[in-house]
Amino acid sequence: MTESTLQALRAALAGAYDIEAPIGRGGMAFVYLARERRLDRPVAIKVLPPDLARDEGTRKRFLREARTVAQLTHPNIVPIFTVDEIDGFVFFAMAYVDGETLARRLAARGPLDPHQAGRLLCDVGEALDYAHARGVIHRDVKPDNILLDAATGRALLSDFGIAHADPRRGLLGRPAAPRGHVVGTLEFMSPEQARGDVVDARSDVYSLGVVGFYALSGRLPFHATTEEGFLEKHATQAAPPLATIAPFVPPRVASIVDRCLAKEPWARFADAAALVRAIAEAVLPPPVPLAVRAFLVRSTHLEAPALIHAFVTGVGLLPATVAAWLSPAGGAIRAVATSALAIALALPAVVAVVRVRRLLAAGHNRDELVAALAARQARRREELAFVYGPGPTSFEWGIGWLARVAVIAAITGAAAVLGVFDVPQQLASLLPVITAGGAAIAFLAAVVARARTEQRTDPLGERSLRFWRGPLGRALFRIADPGAEPAPPAVTILGRVETPA
């Protein structure tokens, strides 16, 4: 929209809205952040420029979108407040979502973890199920049309500009496009949509599957350099299994996405509600048994004794043993010192084995413990991201740059002191101060950065999960129950365990 047109829009809406800033584009329309004067609240204004509003077909499509969304009241669909036409501008005001699109989130910080992706797919799936039940097929489900609320993390579906009526159910939306007429976004459209066939709710399920594939792997299932190439691949080629692109994704979650991308509509989930149920079962943790919960709680109670043990071993026994071996003392003293150190090093393993035996005696195994830890850490990451933000703050970026500059100053000063290169006589006396000051600032910045990072990452919990999931944790369970037969490898899926038959 040109500056003169924008000024005309500001003047036309001045009685009801103050236009503040552009947000983006939606199809042929422009979207602006505005403040509604009467209720003093932020809104998003989607406006059709006058030159397009004069085209009767375009104007009807725009108003049809407004009427369609106005009849959909759901927490995961961006609501419309009002529709109006003033001085040649056709527009509607909708809720302003303070956040970012899924597309921007993925571009800025990469793929989502399975728990985050599962929540997002459930949110959008519930919105689609609600719309489908009222006869509306979205036909343009893609990351640009999924908004992420910064305050709640909730995903909201927007832009019903090319939605149409489900031929099996509804009366809302626009009529189905004529056969052979292709509309939508090439990268995310279903095979039947790419062929120009009449589509139903299962087409949106396919598109949401492409969104899930992209959100979990950071890649699209198909790549092409032309529109015809995309259409052909969606219509005829099988999508690669998600596990081959993103092997870290839990198998059960990957199989759900793969099913959404089936070429034949009947091979996908029957509707969005079935997809939501499958995702919820795959990513929501089951109730944690009491014995497993007690094991996790008990581990936190042992932190203080563990610190005392580490201090005594590291500061007392280890130096004493080294001194005994370096001194001309007799073999008896060396044997006593070595035995004491060995007992101290073995003590944590003995305590862990005792605790593991109690867990096994209650009828639980390592897989259940790892599943509970994984689920707890997934929730913990989500909570910390909400409290402290998903990524480094401007303060943390500043601390990082300060640490880098200080390290460079310290290294440069040390090199100059050692005579690696010549420096002016005036700076020679300052070199020790530059070296020591740079090292001290770098150390303090590293401590502050580490403290801020720990707020957002819960390092103790992450280390505990890695330990019990790794070979040492597996070895402790084998020591605690030597008579047990080795179990087949199990895969932890965010709170539940899948063991191959």
CA angle, 312 then 317 then 321, to 5°: 165
Q: Which residue in 140, 200, 258, 271 is the catalytic one?
A: 140
Strand partners, 47: 30, 91
The residue type of 177 is A
* Tokens at 401, concatenated: 């740059």
pLDDT in tens, 378-395: 777 777 776 666 666 677
Mean local confidence (pLDDT), 93-114: 92
- Domains contained in the chain, CATH given: 3-95 (3.30.200.20), 99-283 (1.10.510.10), 290-498 (no CATH)
Mean local confidence (pLDDT), 318-326: 77
Residue 153 DSSP class: -
Give the pLDDT of residue 302. Answer: 65
* CB contact burial 357-390 (16+ within 10 A = b; e otherwise): eebbeeebbbbbbbbbbbbbbbeebbebeeebeb
Half-sphere exposure of 49 (CA within 13 A, CB side): 15
Place of tokens 């571009």: 107
pLDDT in tens, 347-383: 888 888 888 888 888 888 888 888 788 878 877 777 7
Residue 480 pLDDT > 70: yes
Q: What is the band of 168 on the pLDDT scale with cuts at 50, 70, 90?
A: low
Q: Which residues contact 322 (CB under 8 A, 6 or more apart)?
A: none
pLDDT in tens, 463-474: 888 888 888 888
What phi-psi label fits residue 389: left (phi over 0), alpha (psi between -120 and 50 degrees) or beta?
left
- Count of residues making up the chain: 501
Q: Which strands, in side-by-side order, build the sheet including 29-36?
A: 17-26, 29-36, 41-48, 89-95, 80-86
Q: Is 112 within 8 Å of 120 (Cβ atoms)?
A: yes
Strand partners, 423: none
* Tokens at 501, concatenated: 């038959």
Give the pLDDT of residue 386. Answer: 67
* Tokens at 252, concatenated: 């059960």
The verdict on whether 140 is a catalytic residue reads yes
Give the pLDDT of residue 182. Answer: 59
Place of tokens 């989502």: 112
Q: Which residues contact 498 (CB under 8 A, 6 or more apart)?
A: 250, 251, 252, 490, 491
Give the pLDDT of residue 285. Answer: 64
What is the average pLDDT value for the chain, to the nearest integer? 81
Residue 482 pLDDT > 80: no
Residue 169 pLDDT > 60: no
In angstroms, the CA 220 to CA 444 distance is: 43
Give the pLDDT of residue 214. Answer: 96
Q: Is 94 within 8 Å of 81 (Cβ atoms)?
A: yes
In angstroms, the CA 25 to CA 23 distance is: 7
More reliable by pLDDT, 127 or 252: 127
Q: What is the band of 103 on the pLDDT scale with cuts at 50, 70, 90?
A: very high
Give the pLDDT of residue 393. Answer: 66
